[in-house]
Amino acid sequence: MRLELAGRAVLVTGAASGIGLACARAFLAEGARVAMLDRVPVPVLDGLVVQADVTDESQVVDAIASVVARFGGLDVVVGCAGVSGPVGTPLVETSAADIAKVLAVNVTGQLLVAKHAVPHLPVGGSIVLLASDSAFVSAPGMVPYCASKGAVVALTSALAVELDGIRVNCVCPSIVDTPMARADLGDHVIDEADFPVLAADEVAAHVLYLASPVSRSINGQAVLADFGVSARSGFPA
């Protein structure tokens, strides 16, 4: 399938590792011009590297301005920056500071990037956000994270309605083999899992499709990539 992404100007946040890095590499492989934004150093690729914290509005403004100055505009924005928070900790034992950090990165960060990128996106432009299957299903000890990803799904549909001519969708993967997941769960859980685990490259493929003009009829959707787990009824049959 030809995705028609060659030459397009793409901004990827959270590009230092995991899904964001996989997305940056995938867009570059398609011939796109890619700006990679993260608050920590990004591996040296062929794209433009911009260091910024998505929770700081002034840094977001400056970062997007520098990308637009370099590329002459934007065609695609991919919001991958995210944190998991204190996985396994009950809400009653979670500090307000930890709750605020998760919401700041996963929700406010997406809002700020969208707010300041939208004026530079043309009709036909695309925004793809990274949410999670945790927007739809839950595990103990992940209340702030689940709440934040539910907010990203709501943000996706709200932006799709508000923006004229710019498509907004999100990808909601289940567990992905990333440094963050390994830090949260342990290498043994990922390596010895008796459940399906996504590769970051597989998630990136979903992102590229939604970013591409090929998917022009898809707007305001949350694409759930969980191997069909959430579709199964609890009925014993």
pLDDT at res. 167: 98
Q: What would the 3-class secondary structure string for the chain be?
A: CCCCCCCCEEEEECCCCHHHHHHHHHHHHCCCEEEEEECCCCCCCCCEEEECCCCCHHHHHHHHHHHHHHHCCCCEEEECCCCCCCCCCCHHHCCHHHHHHHHHHHHHHHHHHHHHHHHHCCCCCEEEEECCHHHCCCCCCCHHHHHHHHHHHHHHHHHHHHCCCCEEEEEEECCEECHHHHHHHCHHHHHCCCCCCEEHHHHHHHHHHHHCHHHCCCCCCEEEECCCHHHCCCCCC
pLDDT at res. 45: 85
Q: Quick one: which of 57, 172, 69 has its CA closest to 114? A: 57
Cα–Cα distance, 53 to 61 (Å, whole number): 11
Is 209 marked active-site?
Answer: no
Whether 149 and 132 have beta carbons less than 8 Å apart is answered as: yes
Catalytic residue among 79, 129, 130, 145: 145
pLDDT at res. 71: 98
pLDDT at res. 123: 97
Cα–Cα distance, 131 to 156 (Å, whole number): 9
May I ask the CATH architecture of the domain 9-172+199-223?
Answer: 3-Layer(aba) Sandwich (3.40)
pLDDT at res. 236: 82
- Indicate the domain borders of the chain: 9-172+199-223
Q: Give pTM, 2 decimals.
A: 0.96
pLDDT at res. 97: 98
Whether 87 and 143 have beta carbons less than 8 Å apart is answered as: no
For residue 117, give the amino acid letter: A
Mean pLDDT in each 10-residue stretch from start to end of the chain (237 residues)? 95 97 97 97 90 98 98 98 95 97 98 98 98 96 97 98 97 96 93 94 98 97 96 84
